[in-house]
């Protein structure tokens, strides 16, 4: 607690001095008390433990809205609270934040190092930030199929932090779902089969030279020669929550290891249909200053493409992750 108190000056009668546990804050408190009678206001001293961030779940299976926090001035304690909530809820949403690109980077680094995406165009002044953009005259958007980011890497990114810079007047929502809840809802028989499988993930068909996506996305992807893939267990043990999570996705999974793509397709298709059931999902509507940070291991996301004729610009930072173990 030492040194982590937050001070605010209000006319409120309350003084939380007794909740200050230790350290130099007590000295500051004494100084404030000394000037108490000469001021028109009373000092209110609230240690960050008391301030706490407010975390409100937004649906049964996925997502929580976080309020009472300024992400530009996050304490280590608040960051730890957010990290725990991130693991628990899969996606955290924030409103009315004012993060400049530099602040976005500082915020992301509370949760790990930055895993710079090789394929997305970067914000020119800040190459750690990927640009997720659709112009008014463009028809395709980025991310309009259920997927999770970076599953094609041997150490897939822990999560992505998306900041809304310009949003259309309506539309442009992002849907999220819980692959932990989807897994839980499967039969024991299918769970047992899936626990024995690994799957291959690749980005060649998305970002590679032969892919149609980069052409349709008018230069919004780059470096088609840097494509690759990786294998992961089909059911992973979530590194934070320990929950089993179904770890295949329509965007990047190509086949079960040891199975052909043709053999894999029907079971993968079943899993995609099962997982995308509305009961596992939550829809988030963006405003400027909104932020969503999602965990790539426990969620999928889907970017709606229903705002033709308007510009939508988002900034994304991807936080580095780790190799994934089987559940």
Question: Hey, which residues are catalytic here?
Answer: 147, 149, 301, 316
Q: Which is nearer to ligand OGA, 103 or 166 (CB)?
A: 166
Least distance from ligand OGA to the Cβ atom of residue 85, Å: 20
Which one of residues 174, 249, 299, 305 is an interface residue with ligand OGA (CB under 6 A)?
174
Q: Please state, in angstroms and rounded to a whole number, the distance separating the CA atoms of residues 89 and 229.
A: 28
| Residue 162 near ligand OGA by CB under 6 A | yes
CB 213 within 8 A of CB 139: no
Which residue, 206 or 327, is less far from Mn ion as judged by CB?
A: 206
Closest distance of CB 201 from Mn ion, Å: 14
Give Cβ neighbours of residue 268 (< 8 Å, ≥ 6 apart). Answer: 248, 250, 253, 255, 256
User: From the CB of 143, what's the least distance to Mn ion, in Å?
Assistant: 4
Residue tagged 């963006």 (tokens): 286
Q: Which residues are paired to 198 by β-bridges?
A: 233
229: tokens are: 């893939």
The verdict on 316 binding ligand OGA (CB under 6 A) reads: yes
Fill in the per-residue mask, 104 to 133: x = in contact with ligand OGA (CB under 6 A), - = not in contact.
----------------------------x-
User: What minimum distance in Å lies between the beta carbon of 307 and ligand OGA?
Assistant: 11
CB distance 45 to 16 below 8 Å: yes
- Mention every residue, 6+ apart, whose C-beta is less than 8 A from residue 286: 164, 167, 172, 173, 174, 314
Binding residues for ligand OGA, rule: CB under 6 A, are 132, 142-143, 149, 160, 162, 174, 301, 303, 314, 316
């Amino acid at each position: 607690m030492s040194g982590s108190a937050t001070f605010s000056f209000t006319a409120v009668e309350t003084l939380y001095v007794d909740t200050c546990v230790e350290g130099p804050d007590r000295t500051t408190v004494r100084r404030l008390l000394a000037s108490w009678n000469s001021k028109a206001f009373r000092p209110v001293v609230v240690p960050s433990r008391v301030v706490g961030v407010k975390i409100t779940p937004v649906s049964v299976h996925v997502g929580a809205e976080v309020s009472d926090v300024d992400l530009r001035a996050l304490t280590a304690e608040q960051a730890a609270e957010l990290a725990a909530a991130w693991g628990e809820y899969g996606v955290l949403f924030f409103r009315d934040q004012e993060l400049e690109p530099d602040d976005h980077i500082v915020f992301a680094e509370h949760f790990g190092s930055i895993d710079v995406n090789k394929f997305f165009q970067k914000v020119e002044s800040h190459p750690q930030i990927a640009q997720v953009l659709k112009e008014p005259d463009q028809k395709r958007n980025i991310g309009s199929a259920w997927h999770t980011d970076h599953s094609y890497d041997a150490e897939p990114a822990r999560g992505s932090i998306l900041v809304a810079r310009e949003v259309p007047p309506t539309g442009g929502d992002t849907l999220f779902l819980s692959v932990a809840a989807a897994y839980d809802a499967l039969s024991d028989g299918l769970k047992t089969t899936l626990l024995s499988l690994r799957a291959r993930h690749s980005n060649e068909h998305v970002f590679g030279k032969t892919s149609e996506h980069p052409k349709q996305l008018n230069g919004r992807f780059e470096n088609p020669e840097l494509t690759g893939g990786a294998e992961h267990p089909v059911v992973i043990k979530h590194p934070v929550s320990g929950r089993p999570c179904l770890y295949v996705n329509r965007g990047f999974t190509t086949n079960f290891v040891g199975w052909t793509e043709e053999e894999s397709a029907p079971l993968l298709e079943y899993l995609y249909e099962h997982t995308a059931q509305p009961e596992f999902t939550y829809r988030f509507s963006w405003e400027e200053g909104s932020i969503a940070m999602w965990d790539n291991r426990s969620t999928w996301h889907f970017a709606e493409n229903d705002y033709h004729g308007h510009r939508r610009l988002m900034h994304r930072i991807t936080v580095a992750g780790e190799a994934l173990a089987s559940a």
